[in-house]
A and B are shown apart, each in its own frame.
Chain A
Amino acid sequence: MKKLVLFLSLTIAGLHYLSAQNEVLVEAESFISKGGWVVDPQFVEQMGSPYLMAHGMGAPVLNATTTINLKETGKYHVWVRTKNWVPGNWEAPGRFNVIINGKVLKNTLGLENDWTWEYAGKTRIKSHKVAIELNDLTGFNGRCDALYFSKTKEVPTNDTHRLAVWRKTVLGEPTAPEKTITFDLVITGGGLAGCAAAIAAAEQGLKVALIHDRPVLGGNASEEIRVHTLGIYGKYERILKMIDTEHYPNGSYKAKYDQEKRDKNMKSIENISLFLNWRAYDVLAENNSIQYVDARQTATGERIRFEAPLFVDSTGDGWIGFWAGAEFSYGRESVNKYDEEWEKWGELWSPEVGDNFVMGSSVLWQTEKKQTKQAFPKTPWASDVSGNHAAIAGEWYWEFSRNDLHQIHDAETIRDHMLRAIYGSFSKAKNDNKNDNIKLDWVSYLIGKRESRRLVGDHIFTFKDVRDLTKFKDSVVMEIREVDVHFQQNLKDEDKPDFLSTALFFETPKYYIPYRSLYSKNIANLFMAGRNFSCSHVGLGGPRVMLTTGQMGAAVGFASAICKKYSVNPRGVYTEHLEEYMELIEKQQ
């Protein structure tokens, strides 16, 4: 409820209070009861806020409800920030309406392109306490970012930058978070890498904060995304066994058991302060050194500043590094840049001239056979994507990447494209009687990513290191699993759906990753672990699997202990204390 603010309107430029009319901004994610709607905080950097989404897989979800206090009664205009996620010549798939004090507002919402303020209608408020409901009409991913009540009919801005400023002003938010906490090590991103880093550092006595934007830990391995962990434990079996998964098929409900194990273990470790449902949104770096990370609670909007001498970026997308100004790379390098040729696969493996054909993101899904017939709605708005493809099961190769789309900036478009692929293909399969009893059981609404920003370290790990089996004096990660790089099937055959990929596998006996790939080249106190470590596009092909990223995490966790002991930066561990560090790692099992 903290984000629900009532105040007198003011002009943005001068922050002067005007006492003309009342206005209220209600952030949807702060609704007291979410009903069947889910909080989606994945695209905050692009569209400005976490939002509520009616992810009902074709069945309308229960209403989200809340109550607010309005200082003044009377007539209000209500706008809702939403979007039609598949504009076209069909009924918009994500339609919903707003109910105020039991009365449905006139306009159906979710109809316009892009994130905009849609006018819901006017309402007469008779008492100060107002009940608001979001009423889903389709079960197909209607979304609501915020509601705006105003006595005038002036629509708030749609420009993302101005909107951010307006939001802060309307919510009366001071520039800095209300609260500051200091730790020895602040880790952002609770995937396998972040969790392992937290355990290793905490075991060494460091006070650790782990900031993670979901209610459960594990990232892609969590029960929310359901990818199982591959790779070996290397030197860190004890740590990684606390957080890994069984070898079930991707998308399996069994992810839930490993989730319980992981969360229980993580919560039981002394020295780790977990900040679940907190999303980091900014960093201050001075003289190339990070001072703090600011994070926001994804539902309440509460904010905390995390200060520490050392930071780990295990967000997968390299956010901490990006905000701090760390060097990073994105896309495929020229084959000659790091000598990464695999002649057999030529351009598919590594191109003569670099480009943006990165590995794509996926949305996993599962169906179940029931005893009775199961209906599924028609999805005309999906067929542009799914075409004639029919399917009753998803797989890792349901993957999407296209060269006009950035895996971070366009992640919502990519996720939505996958949703259309899934709903459309499933709907098509349901035309066949033999699938009558198949029910769409689970579709993730979280996008599982493979590749985006890669932060640059003192060493850039490449395919050459794998091929040459290079041993480093600071080898802290080892792996025997094949290197696999994916490409979209439609690059080789245009008739294939654009959401399917193929993997190319390179067998390896054992390769090593040096510690120098796990800290930033230009941000002095920043470690990185996980798929945003320092590597080339093909270099990422092997180590992006989660026991390998977990090994990276554990390695930086131990390095942070050496940093603390000698008051050195991550690089200092390599230049001054390598022997001690390697001994510490050697001792683990």
Chain B
Amino acid sequence: MFFNMDQEYKEIALDQEIFNFTGQDTTVVHQLRMLSDSLGAPRFFYADIETPVCADGECKLAKIKVYWNLLGNYVGFGVFEKTPLTKNEHDPFTHADYKKLHQLLGDRYSVLERRKMDDLIDEVPIVGEALKTYKGIDAISGATKKEIKESVVKGGLYSCYTLWHLANGAIVKAMKSHLETIYSDAITNYLLKSSYLDYQEYGLKKLRKEKFEEHIEDVLRIFHTTTPITRAYILKKIPNELFQKEIVTSNFYSKFHEVDKNTRTQLIAKMIQSDPKSSELLVIHIDIMTNNQLESYLELLKKHSAYLNEFIKKELKTYARSKDVKYNLKVTEFIREV
């Protein structure tokens, strides 16, 4: 079994049927089930799948258990010892093949998404000119056949294709809709406390603004560990009254140098919605700002005197005298102006 959320899996105590669904291009019905912990808190979606995998008119049955997290994102699969998945020549998948399959099923951006089964038939190695014509296309085939070949199990293209579409197809939306029907504050809490990026993201989306304060510790922890796109989301959503509290401001700005450049831009722009402490935490890092970030920062200092105190002026002067030639002219000019 390949699984991304082992700890949670150990806590499973209940298994309950939810609804039936069918895969893409088949009429085979599968049953979607919900796995919960001993207290009944939902943890995974799950389906025992038997699906025909067809190539060149010949079909074989693939048996596999597929697991999704609460958001309907694939997290793992299991196969039965007696009925392994097989490749073209009926050879069973090896351990390495399963590992690759696991990787593929977890890739939501997979090139298989926009491919019809027919497009994949070309089994002839693609080299030279033929490869050239497939590469580098800002659209229609963002993927090359080579890319497809690299992402699937050799000789197991059809199984991979079928299973990817089962695990990442329409069922994902259905699971998310189901989550909505059972959603509760307890789930928000669970998602925000978890260490999974997609859970945190969803929890934040669901977190009402008035609840931010209650969850500020989670929010800050997530901010410092999550992806830039989610950081951007937090900075856009956090209510100003909360952001302005000195302790919150300090927490966001004290790690200015550790966050990505896009987040830095946002932090600078948000300075005037924060406690003036932010400005002191920024001034010590002007050397790592981009040109435009420094310009915005200085511009804000010019317009909002509350953020320009003696400490900041002193720091700016020190920088202007420093050996860092990158911005010293700009900073010197600023000092002259104010």
Contacts and interface: CB of A to CB of B under 8 A. Distances in A.
A410 B132 contact: no
A247 interface: yes
A343 B201 contact: no
B329 A230 contact: no
A55 interface: no
B326 A494 contact: no
A404 B265 contact: yes
Contacts of A353: 236-237
Given A87-B326, A484-B139, A505-B114, A490 B228 contact: yes
A484 B137 CA distance: 12
B109 interface: yes
A352 B237 contact: yes
Given A113-B329, A355-B236, A404-B261, A503 B227 contact: no
A250 B266 contact: no
Given A113-B326, A403-B262, A482 B139 contact: yes
Contacts of A502: 109
Contacts of A87: 325-326
Interface in A492-516: 492-494, 498, 502-505, 507
A173 interface: no
Contact of B142 (A247, A403, A484, A545): A484
A441 interface: no
Interface string A345-358: 01110011101010
A403 B231 CA distance: 13
Contact of A402 (B113, B237, B262): B262
A493 B296 CA distance: 26
A10 B4 CA distance: 75
B136 A230 contact: no
Interface residues of B, number: 40
Contact of B137 (A250, A355, A490, A494): A250
A401 to B, nearest CB: 10
B325 A113 contact: yes
A178 to B, nearest CB: 38
Interface in A218-260: 227-228, 230, 247-252
Contacts of B8: none
Contacts of B205: 346, 352
Contacts of A166: none
Interface string A400-427: 0011110000100100000000000000
A491 B326 CA distance: 26
Nearest to B294: A404
Contacts of A507: 114
A396 interface: yes
B245 interface: no
A481 B140 contact: yes
B229 A348 contact: yes
B233 A230 contact: no
Contact of B262 (A228, A491, A493): A491
Contacts of A45: none
Interface in B186-200: none
B228 A404 contact: no
B233 A352 contact: yes
A252 B260 CA distance: 34
B227 A491 contact: yes
A580 interface: no
B326 A347 contact: no
A402 B264 CA distance: 11
Nearest to B226: A494
A491 B136 contact: no
Majority secondary structure of chain A interface residues (helix, strand, loop or mixed): loop
A92 B308 CA distance: 35
Interface string B229-259: 1101100110000000000000000000000
B103 interface: no
Interface in A323-361: 343-344, 346-348, 351-353, 355, 357
A249 B140 contact: no
Nearest to A87: B326
A395 interface: yes
Contact of A404 (B133, B135, B292): B292
Given A249-B132, A353-B237, A494 B260 contact: yes
Nearest to B177: A343
A482 B114 contact: yes
Contacts of B176: 343
A402 B263 CA distance: 10
Contact of B229 (A343, A492, A498, A505): A492
Nearest to A507: B114
B138 interface: yes
Contacts of A410: 292
Contacts of B260: 490, 494
B173 interface: yes
A574 B240 CA distance: 46
B293 interface: yes
A507 B139 CA distance: 11
B135 A491 contact: no
A228 B137 CA distance: 8
Nearest to A413: B291
B296 to A, nearest CB: 8
B144 to A, nearest CB: 9
B169 to A, nearest CB: 11
A405 to B, nearest CB: 7
B293 A395 contact: no
Nearest to B328: A113
B268 to A, nearest CB: 8
A351 B262 contact: no
A230 B292 CA distance: 35
Contacts of B230: 347
B184 interface: no
Nearest to B233: A347
A498 B260 CA distance: 10
A494 B139 contact: no
Given A404-B292, A482-B140, A490-B260, A395 B135 contact: yes
B229 to A, nearest CB: 4
Query: Which of A88, A113, A252 has most chain B Cβ within 10 Å?
Result: A113
Contacts of A247: 133, 137
26 contacts: A88-B326, A227-B138, A228-B137, A230-B138, A247-B133, A249-B132, A249-B136, A346-B205, A347-B229, A351-B232, A351-B233, A395-B136, A396-B137, A402-B265, A402-B290, A403-B232, A403-B265, A404-B290, A404-B292, A484-B138, A490-B260, A492-B228, A504-B109, A505-B114, A505-B139, A505-B142
Interface of B: 109, 113-114, 132-140, 142, 172-173, 176, 201, 205, 227-230, 232-233, 236-237, 260-262, 264-266, 290-293, 296, 325-326, 329
Q: Ordered nearest first, which 10 A-B pairs have the shortest CB separation?
A: A249-B136, A396-B138, A353-B236, A404-B265, A404-B292, A491-B229, A250-B136, A403-B265, A491-B228, A403-B262
Given A248-B133, A353-B237, A355-B232, 10 more contacts: A113-B325, A228-B137, A252-B136, A351-B236, A395-B135, A396-B138, A402-B265, A481-B139, A484-B138, A505-B114
